[in-house]
């Protein structure tokens, strides 16, 4: 499969949202990835899959330099317990290997939450389905395409 044909890129095109595919060398850190893409660190999003219960998952999109806050996330969702699936379970429910998980092109369209801090940015970057392939788009378009909730669910990394 060519990187032009990743499930993530196909899903972004099918969503009909304005986006740009940016290819870079494979970065060794979030800081390097942001630098190679010419974006601020906070515009680089990672996708975390969370388990709320039996066959009940969601995507949480977290900007680099921040981490999701368990109490904030549980309060928003109205649950007292959540967990991170192990690598095999994450792959089974998303179709992606851990550290490459993204909401576009996942094997199932789980609900999504984007951290409110990204909404002031002109563009954000999410993975495009292959190492060094990224999708740049406006946060509002990301939210629209995913029907995501915008919630303050992060705190700065220590």
With cut-offs at 50, 70 and 90, classify the pLDDT of residue 2.
Answer: very low
H-assigned helices in 15-138? 30-37, 70-77, 87-94
Q: What is the pTM of this model?
A: 0.92
Q: Tell me the average pLDDT across 50-70.
A: 95
With cut-offs at 50, 70 and 90, classify the pLDDT of residue 44.
Answer: very high
pLDDT at res. 3 = 43
With cut-offs at 50, 70 and 90, classify the pLDDT of residue 100.
Answer: confident
Residue 20, pLDDT > 80, answer yes
Q: What are the C-alpha distances in Å from 133 to residues 36, 70, 130, 150?
A: 11, 29, 5, 25
Full set of structural domains in the chain with CATH? 3-156 (3.90.960.10)
pLDDT at res. 129 = 86
pLDDT at res. 4 = 62
Most confident range (mean pLDDT) of 95-99, 103-107, 134-138 is 134-138
For residue 33, the SS3 value is: helix
Q: What are the C-alpha distances in Å from 19 to residues 6, 10, 34, 69, 93?
A: 15, 12, 17, 29, 26
Structure tokens at 14: 């099918």
CA separation for the pair 147, 113 (Å, rounded): 9
CA separation for the pair 60, 112 (Å, rounded): 6
The mean predicted confidence, pLDDT, of the chain is: 93
């Amino acid at each position: 499969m060519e990187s032009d044909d990743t499930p993530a890129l196909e899903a972004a095109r099918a969503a009909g949202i304005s986006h740009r595919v940016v290819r870079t060398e494979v970065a060794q850190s979030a800081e390097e990835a942001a630098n190679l893409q010419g974006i601020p660190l906070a515009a680089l999003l990672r996708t975390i899959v969370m388990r709320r219960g039996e066959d009940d998952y969601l995507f949480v999109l977290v900007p680099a330099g921040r981490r999701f806050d368990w109490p904030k996330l549980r309060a928003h969702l109205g649950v007292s317990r959540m967990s991170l699936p192990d690598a095999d379970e994450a792959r089974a429910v998303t179709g992606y290997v851990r550290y490459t998980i993204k909401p576009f092109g996942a094997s199932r369209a789980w609900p999504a939450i984007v951290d409110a801090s990204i909404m002031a940015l002109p563009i954000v970057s999410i993975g495009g389905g292959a190492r060094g392939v990224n999708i740049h788009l406006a946060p509002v378009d990301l939210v629209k395409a995913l029907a995501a909730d915008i919630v303050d669910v992060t705190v700065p990394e220590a």
